[in-house]
Structures are given as C-alpha cells and as structure tokens.
Amino acid sequence: MKVIRVTVGRVVFAEDKDQARELRVRKLLPALEAGGKVVLDFRGVKYATQSFVHALVGEAIKRYGDEILARMEFRNCSKQLRSVIELVVDYSLSGFPERSMRAKAE
Amino acid sequence: MNDFFGGTETGAELILHPRWMHIEPYGLAMAAAWGAWCRRNTASITVRNVGPQARYAARMKLFEHLRIDPGFSIVEHEEAGRFLPLRKVSTALDIRGVIADLSALLHLDRFPDALAAVQYCVSELLRNALEHAGSPDGAFVCAHNYTSGANRRVSIAVADCGQGIASHLGSVYPDVRGDDSRALALAMLPGVTGVQPGMYGTPDNAGAGLFITRCIAKGSGGYFVMMSGRAAYRLRRAKGRSRSRRIVLDPLEERHDLWNLPAGWQGTVVAVEIRTNQIKDFQRFFRWIREQIPRPAAKRPKIRFT
C-alpha cells in the first residue's frame, strides 16, 4: 500500500494546483498503474479548493472509473475537506449537468 | 464606464473623487491593472485630486503600483486595518503568499470557516487570471473586511489586462469569440473551461472555480460581478434567505444585470462580496453547494475516508 502525504505548510489550506499535479503525476498515477492500493494522507490540511482536489485525483477517477474508489483511501480528512472531495468525485464520475445550458449559450 | 484604454497616446489620467475617500476593491484593482497596462504601453499617468481624501487609496498602495508620489506620507497601523492592500500576482508563489497573509490582514483568525471561504475565492480567481488571461502584467488583487453594521462582509477584487474571456473561450467555443456577453455567461457555467472541451474538464482544469465562487457569494448573500471586454454581469445580492438557498446553474436565470458597455475593459475583472457572518460552517456550506448540482440517479461506490 502506497501512502502519499499531502502537505501544505502552516496555512492548512491546500490550493496549489502545481503541487497537486506533481503529486498526481509523480506518485498517485504511477502507484495506481502498478495496481496497488493508495492512501492519500491529508494530515495537516483542513481546507482545499475544488481545483486542488481535481488536479490531484480527477484524472485517476476519469481514467479508471468508480472502481478506483475501492483502491483509494482518503486519510485524516477534515469534514470540510471531505465535502470538497465528494464534490470532485461526483462530477468526475458523471460530469456537470451543463450540456443543455452550454448548447443554449452556443 | 470610463474609457480606460482609448487615447492614451497623449498620456493617461486617473481622476479621484475630490471628497470621497473610500474606493471599493474592484475600483482599486482595476486602477492598478490599468496602470501596469499604461506603463507597458508607455503612457504616462497623472492623478488628479490627490488630497487628504486619497489616504485610503495610499494605504491600499494604489500610488505605489501606479508609481506616483502622492505628496504625503501615511503612518500604517496594520493592527487597525482590515484590508489586503493591492498586490501584483504573477506566480503560484505569489498566490500562496496572498493566501497566507489573508488571515492576519483581514483579521479573520477568529472565523476560520469564513476565512476559508475568502481564501477559496481569492485562490480560484487568481489562478484563473494566471492560467487563462495571459497578461504580461499578471493580476492585481485587493480586499476589504467591512465589520461595521449587522452584516459583516469581505469584498474581494481581482483584475487583469489580459486577453479577456471571449478570446480565451473562443479558442474552444468559436461561437463566443467576439461576443463578450455570451462568453461571460458561458464562463460562469460549471464544467466550461477554455483549456479543452469535455464534460470532465482536463486533468488540471474542471471549469468549476468561477461557478463555486459565484455559489459562495450567492449563498452568503453577497454579490458577484464579472467584467470582460464590453460585457459586465452582476449577480445581485439575494433579497432574503429563501432566495439564496437555491443556486441556478445558468447565471442568466439568476437575479442579475447584464450591461453592454460603450468602452470596454481589455482583460477581466471579478469582484466578489462574501457575507462572512453567513458562513459559520464551511463543510455544511460546501455540502449545500454540492446539493445544488443535480447528480445522476446511479449510485457511486462509497468514498473510503479513514
């Protein structure tokens, strides 16, 4: 089981997409590719933007579908962080219901 | 609307009000971004009415960014101020610095969930500007925490003089190229990004940042203003709690104003007001946002939180 620590320093607010991308490309996707289980440990992170969580896990969920949730564990998440992760997982699996509106705008 | 970008060959002039002291953050952010644009285009800037009433602008560091000597000095009492003075943001590191300073500068340390909502909006708006605007001057941000009265509110503004939304989205949605109003409306829909089309966004962009920022403003009872090119959109403050309890995905179906300006803004400006006393619990607030987005009937597997 691969444990990936998500650290943000003193601000407890994770918003740096570059850092999220780095973790995704260098650690998360290779670990999932190898077929094992992955733990994302958010100790020390209380809040995150949807953009950060999307940059971290969105591609993995899109690539592997909902079965990846059985191989991913989110550890030490605050309740605030959980709500953001749930939002990202939901739209990563089923998209936003915007197609009709986008068509209207076009 | 001023003609910010026309006729600057002979120099540019900023006219402050002769009596009023206060300038909302969006006015300050626009002036600073405009000043950087003027310098880039070798237009000299003069400022009129720099009297005692301009001290607030000075404390917000407007003259510093315009590189103009106001002719007076100010004594800064950081502990008394509740504002984030103008900052030029060009890198992810700059954003991190702004986020880290918000708590102390806005005096929101006693309200961590309200602070998180403010940090959230500032981060998303600045990242949008850096990732999509393509301005050589970066973006300018400032904020003010208004604590008098029953409704505490934080007003935030981010301005850039980049390519603007119609140009950015136009590379993916050709129909909105040259149509600022349609581009603004499209940009505020969730799942729309100028980076690449697709329901799920791209690995780095979901196209949800502006949508969630709009939700935070609306849900707290504040306003959301966006201007790009000749178009300006304002989501009005909710009249009562019942109105603000429902989010309409399509911004044009909200209570709004949409203006077609005679002289536009070359770039993008976003201003957000957050009623911080309405955000006591970030998790419940975010869950409420999630509940506003229709989800498919199929149930997904449980997320493993440990």
CA distance A56 to A40: 10
Interface contact A80, partner B, CB < 8 A = yes
Question: Could you tell me if B198 and A59 are in contact, meaning their C-beta atoms sit under 8 angstroms apart?
Answer: no
Question: Could you tell me if A96 and B293 are in contact, meaning their C-beta atoms sit under 8 angstroms apart?
Answer: yes
Of chain B, the percentage scoring pLDDT greater than 70 comes to: 92
Gap from B206 CA to chain A (nearest CA, Å) = 7
Tell me, yes or no, whether B303 lies in a domain: no
| A98–B189 C-beta distance less than 8 A | yes
CA distances from A81 to A2, A42, A45, B86, B154 (A): 21, 9, 8, 30, 23
Helix pair angle (B282-292, B209-220), 10° resolution: 110
Tell me, yes or no, whether B241 lies in a domain: yes
Contacts of B199 in chain A (CB under 8 A): 95-96, 99
Q: How many domains does chain A have?
A: 1
DSSP-based three-state secondary structure for A40: strand
- A68-91 per-position pLDDT tens digit: 999 999 999 999 999 999 999 988
- Note the pLDDT of residue A98: 53
Single out the residue of A101, A62, A79, A17 nearest to residue B293, CA to CA.
A101
Of B248 and A18, the structure prediction assigns the larger pLDDT to A18
Structural domain range at position B179? 82-288
CA distance A97 to A89: 15
Q: How many domains does chain B have?
A: 1
Q: How many CB atoms lie within 10 A of CB B190?
A: 26
Q: How confident is the model at residue B246 (pLDDT cuts 50, 70, 90)?
A: confident
Tell me, yes or no, whether B282 lies in a domain: yes
Tell me, yes or no, whether B22 lies in a domain: no
Report residue B34 as tokens. 């405009």
- Note the pLDDT of residue B279: 86
Gap from B48 CA to chain A (nearest CA, Å) = 40
A47-48 vs A13-14, strand pairing mode: parallel
Tell me, yes or no, whether B296 lies in a domain: no
Question: Could you tell me if B214 and B238 are in contact, meaning their C-beta atoms sit under 8 angstroms apart?
Answer: no
Q: Identify the residue among A87, A88, A89, A93 best suited for mutation to test binding to B, counting B beta carbons within 10 A and taking the highest.
A: A87
Question: Could you tell me if A75 and A41 are in contact, meaning their C-beta atoms sit under 8 angstroms apart?
Answer: yes
Interface contact A28, partner B, CB < 8 A = no
ipTM (interface pTM): 0.90
- Note the pLDDT of residue A99: 47
Q: Amino acid identity, residue B114? A: A
- B45-68 per-position pLDDT tens digit: 999 998 888 999 999 999 999 999
Rg (CA), chain A: 14
CA distance A79 to A72: 18
| CB–CB contacts below 8 A, A to B | 165
Task: Give the H or E element holding residue B297.
Answer: none
- Quick one: average pLDDT of B266-295? 86
CATH code at position B274: 3.30.565.10
Average pLDDT, chain B: 88
- B86-117 per-position pLDDT tens digit: 999 999 999 999 999 998 889 898 889 999 99
> Is the whole model's pTM more than 0.80, yes or no?
yes
Structural domain range at position A91? 2-105
